[in-house]
Amino acid sequence: MIVGEILRGLVLDKAASWDPVGLQLGDENAVADSVGVCHQVTDQVVDGAEGLDLLITYHPLLFKPIQRLLAGSGPEGRAHRLIRSGVNLAVVHTAWDAAPGGAADALAYALDLSNVRGFGLIEPRTRMKLVTFVPVNAVAQVVDALAEAGAGAIGNYRGCSFRSEGIGAFLPQVGAAPAIGRVGQAEEIDEVRVEVLLAPSGAGAAVAALLATHPYEEPAFDLIETTSNVGLGGRIGDCNKSFDELVDHLTARFGQHLRAAAPPEPSARRVAVLPGSGGSFIGEAAAGADVLVTGDLSHHQMVEALDLGMAAIDIGHAASEQPGVKALVDLVGKMVPNVIDLSYDPTPWRR
């Protein structure tokens, strides 16, 4: 399997715009039969990646633009070592948080939550909607061509469209060469309104595919700018534990270093989880949950949660992402024959 096929299988289209998700080093057409998966690219991870075709990391190695890529220490030095070793490097980060079966789902599963739904809008994204009107007998060829051009891709699904029937009316003028009807004669024909979503960068290819396959001389179509979400980075679900039982469960699962704040007589009936730094989602979590489980909560964010009547549990940044890394190892293992877990212990804290 090649690198690009593996990355497409991970569904990385829901990343935040600031996040350098995808291939950071290497060639997407390179063969990748051996893959390592890690939480953070450390020197130990680079040592373990020696001889592999691809290293997939949760956290980006290179986050800010760099001016030089030299041998040595730090992110640039590790990137230099990977390049010298011929190891391709890919990043999943916020895309994996939001992906079906990704980091957020894995954290919810680790807490035994049920009836899980998404929350935590990563950021809005501008998309395009292509709307056109096609004779009934030409719908299949037009829709297939749009799908081949990349239109109608939503998450794990391809070829998505909405269709509604109607009547198309037109009057060909002198100089026209109508596919249906004659010049000077008004026509009405059964048509199907077809709508597909696409990325703005794919608008040209989609329109070209439409014009190439639509039977009309001058097909009508609209390109409409719309706003949709990149993805939901958190999950909310039902919990069958009391608050104290939940804290005990988290302590046993993630270690002794968690911090918890709760109002008097706290409930844990509905629990929100968000891998990484979830403090900016406190207000959204409080609208549907009794407890927020995440990492990197500050004093003021804990107070904010209490003011909203919600308990908050900080299990640590890396700990909240560990179930997602394990889920990533499992998914990649279904695609390639040789997968190595290089996540080690990603927590930098020792006391």
Domains of the chain, start order: 3-92+322-341 (3.40.1390.30), 103-122+232-315 (3.40.1390.30), 124-229 (3.30.70.120)
Whole-number pLDDT of residue 38:
98
CA distance linking residue 57 with residue 20, whole number of Å? 12
Axis crossing angle, helix 317-333 with helix 243-254, rounded to the nearest 10: 70
With bands split at pLDDT 50, 70 and 90, how would you rate the model's confidence at 229?
low
pLDDT at 177 over 90: no
State what percent of residues in the chain have pLDDT above 70.
98
Sign, CA dihedral 33-90-13-67, equals negative
pLDDT at 350 over 90: no
Do residues 232 and 121 touch, judged by C-beta distance below 8 A? yes
Whole-number pLDDT of residue 61:
97
Whole-number pLDDT of residue 351:
64
Axis crossing angle, helix 317-333 with helix 103-110, rounded to the nearest 10: 110
Whole-number pLDDT of residue 179:
83
Question: Which class for 281: exposed (0-12), middle (13-18), buried (19 or more C-beta within 10 A)?
Answer: buried
Q: Which residue has the higher pLDDT, 345 or 182?
A: 182
Listed residue (311, 301, 320) closest to 257, CA to CA: 320
Whole-number pLDDT of residue 270:
98
Listed residue (342, 297, 301) closest to 317, CA to CA: 297
Give residues with Cβ within 8 angstroms of 236, minimum separation 6: 113, 116, 117, 118, 119, 270, 271, 272, 273, 285, 288, 289
Tens-digit pLDDT profile for residues 128-153: 999 999 999 999 999 999 999 999 98
Helices (H), 10-60: 43-48
Average pLDDT over residues 218-238: 90
Tens-digit pLDDT profile for residues 314-325: 999 999 999 999
User: Order of strands across the sheet with 124-135?
Assistant: 162-170, 187-198, 124-135, 221-229
Do residues 223 and 258 touch, judged by C-beta distance below 8 A? no
> Does the predicted TM-score (pTM) go above 0.75?
yes
